[in-house]
Every structure is written in C-alpha cells, then in structure tokens.
C-alpha cells in the first residue's frame, strides 16, 4: 500500500531512496492514511460546493423566472442603474453572509456584526487595560531592579571596606600575637 501510494505521488519520477525498516514503513503508512483521509475530505468538500452551486443556480433561475413572469423583468431589461443597484444588493448580502436579500436578513446580519464589533471592542479595552497594568508592573520591576543593583553596589563597596578593616585587624592581631610571643620569650630569657 505504501509503495502504491509513493508511485501515485511521484508519478513518472523515480521514488527517492529511503531506509526500509519497520519505523519508516510505519511513518509512511501513517502519511498514506492521513493523505487519503485528506483527499476524502477534499472530495466531499468539492461535492458539497458543487451541490451548493447547483442549488444557488437553481434558486437564481427560479428568481429570474419569477421576476420575468410576475413583473416582466429580466436582467437584460434592467437599466444600468438598476443593474448597479442589484449588484450592490447582491454584494452586500454576500459580505454580510445573509441567507437571502430580505430586509429582515440584512437587519439580523447587521445586528450580528454590531454585536461582534462591540464584543471585539470590549475585548480590546480589556486587553489595553491588562497591557497598561503589565506596563506599570514592568516599570515598577525595572525600578526595583535598578534600586537593587544600587543597593548591591553599595553593599559590595561596604564589604570591600569591611574586608580591608578585617585584613588590617587581622594583621594587627598577628602583630600583637607575634609581639606577645616575643615578649614571652624575652620574659623567660630575663627570668
């Protein structure tokens, strides 16, 4: 099945070399299944589109016949202005995705779009508010970071000073110990 699918995919071109083992065959088999499922979905979608096109064409023919019979109107008998208005009406209905060109359908579609607009504007306001809050928090965090860096620098400077003092005291202590030892030795010598 995999080989047949590869031949179908590459047509007259040679199939590229690949390592034939259980793993690659399994992967290719999964690709075959996905590809065939996608092809089935696409063919169903095409059939659906064809059916809808046929339905729309039948409805258009019916409406054209209705106009011709009841009002003695045909598309060719309309003035250029009438044709222009009809095209605007059709384009508006398609843009608003209405099921027909009745006034009620237009109002419903406009109301739906207005609701979507208000919902989107509300979401945008919420996102702007959240963004403002995040900016404030980020600014505060950056200020805190700057303050912490300053504090760290001061602490490091103080640590250096304290370390120098400790070194000095350590040297003084060593000197005093050495002096004490020297004095002890002198005292013993003097005794």
Q: In this predicted structure, what is the pLDDT of residue 105?
A: 81
Token pair for 39: 């092809």
The answer to whether the beta carbons of residues 79 and 66 sit under 8 Å apart is no
Task: Give burial (CB, 10 Å; 0-12/13-18/19+) of 31.
Answer: middle
Residue 90 exposure: Cα atoms within 13 Å on the Cβ side: 8
C-alpha span between 140 and 188 (Å, rounded): 69
Proportion of the chain in helix, strand, coil states, percent, rounded to 5: 85, 0, 15
Q: In this predicted structure, what is the pLDDT of residue 120?
A: 95
Of the candidates 154, 175, 153, 156, which has an alpha carbon nearest to the alpha carbon of residue 164? 156
C-alpha span between 86 and 93 (Å, rounded): 11
Residue 110 vs residues 97, 98, 137: alpha-carbon distances, Å? 10, 10, 40
Mean pLDDT by 10 residues, the chain (191 residues): 82 83 88 91 93 87 73 68 80 80 82 92 95 95 95 95 93 93 91 87
Q: In this predicted structure, what is the pLDDT of residue 133?
A: 95
Q: In this predicted structure, what is the pLDDT of residue 65?
A: 77
């Amino acid at each position: 099945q995999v080989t047949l699918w590869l031949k179908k995919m590459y047509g007259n071109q040679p199939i590229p070399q690949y390592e034939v083992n259980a793993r690659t065959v399994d992967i290719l088999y999964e690709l075959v299944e996905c590809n065939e499922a996608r092809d089935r979905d696409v063919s169903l979608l095409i059939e659906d589109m064809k059916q809808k096109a046929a339905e729309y064409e039948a409805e258009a023919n019916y409406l054209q016949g209705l106009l011709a019979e009841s009002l003695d109107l045909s598309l060719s008998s309309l003035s250029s202005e009438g044709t222009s208005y009809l095209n605007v009406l059709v384009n508006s209905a398609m843009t608003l995705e209405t099921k027909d060109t009745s006034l009620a359908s237009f109002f419903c579609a406009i109301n739906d779009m207005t609701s979507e607009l208000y919902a989107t504007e509300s979401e945008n306001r919420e996102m702007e508010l959240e963004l403002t809050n995040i900016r404030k928090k980020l600014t505060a965090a950056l200020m805190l970071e700057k303050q912490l860096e300053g504090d760290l620098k001061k602490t490091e400077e103080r640590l250096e000073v304290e370390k120098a003092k400790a070194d000095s005291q350590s040297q003084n202590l060593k000197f005093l110990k050495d002096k004490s030892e020297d004095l002890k030795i002198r005292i013993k010598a003097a005794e």
